[in-house]
Structure 1
Amino acid sequence: MNSDVYIPDGDNDHIPEAPLLTRLTHWFLQHWSFMIWVMLPTVLTMLYLVLIATPQYISEAHFVVRGRSGQSSISLSSILQSSGGGGGATSENTYVVQDYMLSRDAAELLIRQDKLLEIYARPEADFIARFPFFLFKNDFEHFYSYYQRHVLVEQDTETDISILKVRSFRAADSRMIARALLDASENLVNDINRRQRENLIRATSREVQETETKLREINQKLAEYRNTIALIDPLRQSVPMVSFVTNLQNMLTSTTMQLNQLRAAAPNSPLIAAYERQVAILTDQIKKSGSQITGSDQSLVPKITGYDDLMIQRELEQRILASNVASLEVAKQQANQQMIYVDEVAQPNEPDWPEYPRNMVVLFIVFMSFFSLYVMIKLLVASAREKNLE
């Protein structure tokens, strides 16, 4: 009788299990590499995800960056319209805001104002997900890489709406970080508007200020000149004097005609002497009054000339000032039209359940990654053996 044949009896009912254990052991010995290199990492990952991994919450906000020249308010048509084949035209200002949200400046600002380091080092966070991770240094460069993995800004190509996603270990923290990033972006846009406005109106404002300064200097010279000549308005004040001289000349002409007629009609008339004295008096008065208007440096004409020169300068500066003020208003309107704004389509939410970690996705990726690596190694080993046999 063959000794390998199994004969059951009533005292050894557990013996049939031995072949199963043997087969399992034999199978494991045949597939030990698969179990170690594929299944073991997958099981460890599953244990981490189920027993250790901390839930992470995502807060999402939607916003658009627009200019004042556009619509005064957001409508469904402006949000849902698309161009061409579905790719919306995005302004460079949108990319500026998106880049800022993922920049070092934004991370440093949140660290200073919102204690971002403490948020990502919560006590409930697991040792792999929290910062600092034990394999990384506790410095800003490593935190910035960590920050970029937890903050995402992407563009909807159909609607041109930017989508901000923030991931952290608490729902309230995610919402707070998203709110802080939107506020920081709005401050950035306001700063851009301020600098742009200053650049547009700086030159024109400087010209207006320079013209105002020149005009004040001319007015000061005009006031000093009036004090010097003791006249408020030489032009107006010269009118009575010129009129007075004109009247005297008219009287002299009339008296002279009467004198000539009297001399011709009555050469011996005693009135001739009276007319002659009147003519002499009028001639002397005209000479004196005329010397006050013209002739010397103290006469009225040089005073009027200096006054006219200052008045012409003031009028020119006033016209230049009016032109510069008009240019300044145009520059301000242009600056207002070029201003940009961050409009929130959907404010940051506080999620009700965690979206991370995504267990099935992570397990699938881990299994497929190690399985692909395992297959590649097996193929390389098999190829090497075939070459050795040849």
Structure 2
Amino acid sequence: MNQSNSPAEKAAQPSEQGAAPKTGPGPNVVQAPSAKTSLRPPARPAGIRTRHVLIALSFVIWVILPVVVSGGYLYTVARDQYASHVGFSVRTEEIGSAIELLGGITELSGSSSSDTDILYEFIQSPQIVRAVHDQLDMARIYQRSGDPVFTLGDDTRIEALLSYWQRMVKIFYDRSSGLVEIRVLAFEPQDARAVAEVVFAESSNMINQLSAIARADAMRYAEEELARAEDRLKVSNRSLTSFRNRTQIVDPAADVQGQMGLLNSLSAQMAEAQIELELLLDNANESDPRVNQANRKIAAIQKLINEERSAFGGASGVSGVQQYSELIEEYQALELERQFAEKSYLSALAARDVALAEAQRQSRYLATHISPTLAETAEYPQRELLLLMISGFLLLSWSVLVMVYYSLRDRR
């Protein structure tokens, strides 16, 4: 058999042998590729470049150095701070009457959320800062040399004091229970407790002022209503007195009853006189003196009846001819107004008495559950926590900047 191959077949034979290993009963043998096959050059070993040095340097400048400086300041320069705690709540006490106490329907005490909200804002206001500064001198308490971060600066105007006050005094307010707890920081434990005591005293004064204002408002409204009712009663009494002086009649209804009784009596006398006259005429003539006397008696009684009827139909002392019916109508209107005014006055007087009793029964006060404490150990500033927060913030910001740098670099 001819063993000669063409040059092309010879060139293809090594690659075929390299691609398919020889199979057989012996072990598999993989033939190495031919030296003529092309290979990629190996990657060069990674080296430290300029950007790596700059990133490491930025980490030192941005993170390590500030953390070291902050730690050195916190542990060597920052002054120790002592905390004083005071806790209280606003209570409203209502002492009921004896009947209410026996019935068990009175509420002896309760919390007032609206007053607590007012107190919460008051403790953060310039008013209490000025009160503390006037009583204790905040510059003496909070100004220290060598610690410009945690101490009060040279500016002692009310705006600067208020800003520093909000750093050193923290309020914790539980709206569900109405409990308020205040933490006061100072560089001496006695100063911290003194500030806490002033805060509690001023808060108590504010609650007392709110109570006084509420009582004054309630009493003022009741007094104003009573004054209006009293003026109305005076006007109605003066109108009724003027009517009586003008008509010379105290009570037209009673006067009518009196005149009606007199007319009835005269009418009865008239009837008797006429009966007597008729009896005389049966036994005597008209020239009899007894008949003349009976006629004169009848005439006199008739004259009285006419006069009384004339007085009943009109009265002197008033403008024009005013009938009794008009007088009675006017009198009834004046009397009705007087009765209404009197009832209004009695109601206003009772309301004033009730307001006075309520003002005396209700009392707002501060109930302390934590008296101002005196610290023995400086718990602030919390150096470990502050240093951890500073480190975390610096590391996070540095990482973000590095990621932004590599993102911009990869896009180029």
Q: Secondary structure at the match of 1:356?
A: coil
Q: Secondary structure at the match of 2:90?
A: strand
Determine the C-alpha separation between the residues in 1 that align with 2:172 and 2:232.
55
Alignment match, 1:55: 80
Pair 1:216 & 2:241 matched: no
Alignment match, 2:90: 65
| CA apart distance, 1:163 | 1.1
Q: What amino acid sits opposite 2:300 in the alignment?
A: I
Determine the C-alpha separation between the residues in 2 that align with 1:362 and 1:57.
17
1:256 to 274, 282, 291: 274
Cα 1:230–1:177, aligned 2, differ >3 Å: closer, same or farther?
farther
Cα 1:242–1:182, aligned 2, differ >3 Å: closer, same or farther?
farther
Q: Which deviates the most, 98-107 or 225-234?
A: 225-234
Instruction: Using structure 2 for the length normalisation, give the TM-score.
Output: 0.63
Q: What amino acid sits opposite 2:188 in the alignment?
A: R
Deviations 1:40-64 (A, max 9, x none): 5455445544444333222212122
Q: Which deviates the most, 291-300 or 161-170?
A: 291-300
Identity %: 22
Instruction: Using structure 1 for the length normalisation, give the TM-score.
Output: 0.66
Alignment match, 1:14: none
Q: Secondary structure at the match of 1:349?
A: coil
Q: What is the number of residues matched between the two proteins?
A: 341
Determine the C-alpha separation between the residues in 1 that align with 2:210 and 2:175.
25
Contact 1:64 1:342 in 2 (8 A): yes
Pair 1:362 & 2:380 matched: no
CA RMSD across the alignment: 4.6
Alignment match, 2:152: 131
Determine the C-alpha separation between the residues in 2 that align with 1:244 and 1:387.
128
| CA apart distance, 1:156 | 4.0
Alignment match, 1:85: none
Q: Which runs of structure 2 are paired with 1:320-335 in the superposition (5 Å)?
A: 320-324=344-348
Alignment match, 2:102: none
Q: What amino acid sits opposite 2:125 in the alignment?
A: S
Alignment match, 2:340: 316
Determine the C-alpha separation between the residues in 2 that align with 1:386 and 1:349.
59
Structure number with greater CO (CA < 8 Å, separation at least 6) is 1
Cα 1:253–1:62, aligned 2, differ >3 Å: closer, same or farther?
same
Contact 2:141 2:191 in 1 (8 A): no
Q: Secondary structure at the match of 2:367?
A: strand
Alignment match, 2:14: none
Cα 1:210–1:237, aligned 2, differ >3 Å: closer, same or farther?
same
| CA apart distance, 1:130 | 2.0
Q: What amino acid sits opposite 1:317 in the alignment?
A: A
Contact 1:119 1:168 in 2 (8 A): no
Determine the C-alpha separation between the residues in 2 that align with 1:360 and 1:68.
46
Unpaired runs of 5+ in structure 1? 1-30, 79-89
| CA apart distance, 1:149 | 1.1
Deviations 1:159-211 (A, max 9, x none): 44221112122333333333333344444445555666677787776554333
Unpaired runs of 5+ in structure 2? 1-55, 95-105
| CA apart distance, 1:324 | 4.9
